[in-house]
A and B are shown apart, each in its own frame.
Chain A
Amino acid sequence: MALILDNLSKRFGGVVASENVNITVPKGKITGLIGPNGAGKTTIVNMITGMLAVSGGTIRVDDTDITRAPADQICRAGLARTFQNIRILPENSVLDNILIGFHRHERCSTLSALLGLPASRRETAAMRARAEALLERFGMRHLAEYPAGGLSYGHQRRVEMMRALASEPEYILLDEPIAGMNDVESDALAVLFRDLADSGIGILLIEHNLRFVTRLCQHIYVLDGGRLIAEGAPEAVLSDPAVLTAYVGGEHA
């Protein structure tokens, strides 16, 4: 049971953003994906989630081919993501931002939603309760009613994570989830990510903070110029000469 990228490629005109990338994200584990700026990490997440058309190769989730599936269908196949450039719903409250994450699990008929029948009202109440539980877990219960657009980046990133988790994904793709957070905040998230993996979710973690990645992942992939240049256990990979060269002059050590 895994999310498998097989020879995945993407070209933007002449620019090769990824070339023959093979990555496996198993369930119940945190898989790291690192690489210098412009290496093609976000491009891979965008291809997996159906936001960019794939130029070559295949993407499979537990033996279902999702290479050319539309984004909403990919979510329903059990994939969720957060965005590197934060994308919350700015006009909505924090709570409403999370509520939309439950969309995949909403079952009441269109007619009862239109007419406001008890089935629809019960569903809304049940989703609210679940959203509040998530807020509790992320320590943001007191911010539930605030407009999400006015929160700090750290809080907005957590809103995105809660929203993604609300869809109860089998796999979650986190694109630089702790960017802009302090050590206390990122430590709390490290614990949370490990809990998620322990509960059986497969996590793909993209991060520039190598210490954070080393701490959480048993297996990491290194991308440079759209190609994988190394993979394996963090200690081995980070001492690989090719990786050191890619990061030379890099500010990310």
Chain B
Amino acid sequence: MMNLLLGYQPLLDLFLLHLGLAYAQWLVLRAGVFSLGTVGLAAVGAYTGGILVVTYGLPAPLALIASALSGGLVALALSVPLARLRGIYQAIATVAFIQIVLSLNIYATNVTGGAQGITGIPKTVGTPLLLLAGAATIYLMYAITHSRLGRAFDAIRQNEAVAASLGVSIVRHQTLAFVLSGALAGVYGALEAFHSYALVPSQFGFPYLIAILSYVVFGGRTSLWGPIVGTAVLILLPEVVRPLADARMLVFGILLILTINFLPKGIADTLIERARGRRLGARRPAEADTAKGS
């Protein structure tokens, strides 16, 4: 029994690490920012953490805070040009940003270790800490959802003109969402670095971007459950159906296309919507009558 659980521990760690980045992606999308830059910001956090610990001998907790700050600050800088763009142009700009981060990681050899990356990072992060981080992340997302910020994000995503007409500052809220997302990505980038001894520049590239995006699109972009369901299913699937493991990216790609076509809201959001429909539908006969009378 214990062995079985231990066998799944790497998978659980992977799930928790990816869940954090999935929430970082989810948060910006909720506020109507079409950023795909999450893995770029994770790379910023990971390298900040790795360099501070390995080169400067900083303790891991301090380095983690620095990673959050670096992710948030880079996102803040990036939000200036992004605020002038919308939709697909934001997506393109943020993919370009990832490209810039990747190039810096490779060519700024003195700081980042170049193509070799950073090795010899002390492993300070294990499953318990990741569980704690996961719980904290979910709580934060829950708190934001049920606050004035979550309401403003929802309004902006669905209709900017309406949001503005109700006094919601679009630039301020989208910047806040993007900075929070950047800080979260920075933290999870650093957690990944402190969990795995080494960082290589290609780690935060295109496949990772597609994986994170798949979790959110497949799971759902508006409910809190979306990233959890999406990340869990897509990480477990290749393990359950072993032959799929080698073709992980192929499976993600196909699932992404299928989801967009047949369940555009993602599985969790679709299920929640159906459940709500049934609950309200059961009450409908009485409702319809009152509605007619009013």
Contact B291–A72 (Cβ < 8 Å): no
B residues within 8 A CB of A87? 159, 161-162
Q: Does B130 contact A (CB under 8 A)?
A: no
B residues within 8 A CB of A72? 163-170
Contact A51–B146 (Cβ < 8 Å): no
Q: How far is it, in angstroms, between the C-alpha of A103 and the C-alpha of B147 when the chains are bound?
A: 11
Contact A139–B294 (Cβ < 8 Å): yes
Stretch at the interface among B59-67, B99-107, B149-157: B149-157
A residues within 8 A CB of B280? 145-146
Proximity string of chain B (200-225) to chain A, C-beta cutoff 8 Å, 1 when within and 0 when not: 00000000000000000000001000
Name the one of B164, B180, B294 contacting A114, with C-beta atoms under 8 angstroms: B180
| Distance between B74 CB and nearest chain A CB, rounded to angstroms | 19
Contact B168–A96 (Cβ < 8 Å): no
Q: Does A218 contact B (CB under 8 A)?
A: no
Q: Does B16 contact A (CB under 8 A)?
A: no
The residue of chain A having its C-beta at the shortest distance from the C-beta of B170 within the complex is: A72
Contact A96–B147 (Cβ < 8 Å): no
Contact A120–B158 (Cβ < 8 Å): no
Q: Does B140 contact A (CB under 8 A)?
A: yes
Contact B165–A81 (Cβ < 8 Å): yes
A residues within 8 A CB of B222? 91
A residues within 8 A CB of B291? 142-143, 155
Q: How far is it, in angstroms, between the C-alpha of A115 and the C-alpha of B159 when the chains are bound?
A: 26
Contact A110–B149 (Cβ < 8 Å): yes
**A residues 126-164 in Cβ contact with B at 8 Å:** 139-140, 142-143, 145-147, 155, 163-164
Q: How far is it, in angstroms, between the C-alpha of A101 and the C-alpha of B152 when the chains are bound?
A: 10
Q: How far is it, in angstroms, between the C-alpha of A113 and the C-alpha of B143 when the chains are bound?
A: 7
| Distance between B129 CB and nearest chain A CB, rounded to angstroms | 20
Contact A96–B142 (Cβ < 8 Å): no
Q: How far is it, in angstroms, between the C-alpha of A108 and the C-alpha of B155 when the chains are bound?
A: 18
Q: A116-B147, A145-B280 are in contact. Are A70 and B164 (CB under 8 A)?
A: yes
The residue of chain B having its C-beta at the shortest distance from the C-beta of A89 within the complex is: B158
Q: Does A11 contact B (CB under 8 A)?
A: no
| Main SS at interface, chain B | helix
Q: Does A167 contact B (CB under 8 A)?
A: yes
The residue of chain A having its C-beta at the shortest distance from the C-beta of B284 within the complex is: A146
Q: A142-B291, A143-B291 are in contact. Are A108 and B166 (CB under 8 A)?
A: no
Q: How far is it, in angstroms, between the C-alpha of A75 and the C-alpha of B169 when the chains are bound?
A: 10
Most chain A C-beta atoms within 10 Å of own C-beta, residue among B144, B166, B169, B280: B166
The residue of chain B having its C-beta at the shortest distance from the C-beta of A124 within the complex is: B146
Q: Does A106 contact B (CB under 8 A)?
A: yes
The residue of chain B having its C-beta at the shortest distance from the C-beta of A76 within the complex is: B167
Q: Does A44 contact B (CB under 8 A)?
A: no
Contact B166–A104 (Cβ < 8 Å): yes
Contact B151–A99 (Cβ < 8 Å): yes
Contact A116–B167 (Cβ < 8 Å): no
Contact A100–B151 (Cβ < 8 Å): yes
Name the one of A51, A71, A113, A146 contacting B147, with C-beta atoms under 8 angstroms: A113
Name the one of A71, A106, A146 contacting B165, with C-beta atoms under 8 angstroms: A71
Q: Does B197 contact A (CB under 8 A)?
A: no
Q: How far is it, in angstroms, between the C-alpha of A76 and the C-alpha of B155 when the chains are bound?
A: 17
Contact B143–A100 (Cβ < 8 Å): no
Contact B164–A89 (Cβ < 8 Å): no
B residues within 8 A CB of A108? 147-148
Q: How far is it, in angstroms, between the C-alpha of A92 and the C-alpha of B176 when the chains are bound?
A: 22
Most chain B C-beta atoms within 10 Å of own C-beta, residue among A73, A76, A103: A103
Contact B158–A96 (Cβ < 8 Å): no
Q: A123-B148, A142-B291 are in contact. Are A92 and B158 (CB under 8 A)?
A: yes
Contact B148–A116 (Cβ < 8 Å): no
B residues within 8 A CB of A104? 166-167
Q: A89-B158, A92-B158, A139-B294 are in contact. Are A167 and B166 (CB under 8 A)?
A: yes
The residue of chain A having its C-beta at the shortest distance from the C-beta of B168 within the complex is: A103
The residue of chain B having its C-beta at the shortest distance from the C-beta of A100 within the complex is: B155
Contact B164–A100 (Cβ < 8 Å): no
A residues within 8 A CB of B146? 116, 120-121, 124
A residues within 8 A CB of B163? 72, 100
Name the one of B139, B152, B161 contacting A116, with C-beta atoms under 8 angstroms: B139
Most chain A C-beta atoms within 10 Å of own C-beta, residue among B164, B170, B287, B294: B294
Q: A92-B154, A100-B166, A142-B287 are in contact. Are A71 and B149 (CB under 8 A)?
A: no
Report 17 cross-chain contacts, Cβ distance below 8 Å, ordered by A residue.
A51-B161, A70-B164, A73-B167, A80-B165, A83-B162, A100-B152, A104-B167, A110-B176, A113-B149, A114-B149, A115-B140, A116-B144, A121-B146, A124-B148, A142-B287, A147-B276, A163-B166
Residues of A whose CB lies within 8 Å of any CB of B are: 49-51, 70-73, 75-76, 80-81, 83, 87-92, 96, 99-101, 103-104, 106, 108, 110, 113-116, 120-121, 123-124, 139-140, 142-143, 145-147, 155, 163-164, 167
The 3 A-B pairs of least Cβ separation, nearest first, read A116-B143, A75-B167, A113-B147
Residues of B whose CB lies within 8 Å of any CB of A are: 139-140, 142-144, 146-149, 151-152, 154-155, 158-159, 161-170, 176, 180, 222, 273, 276, 280, 287, 290-291, 294
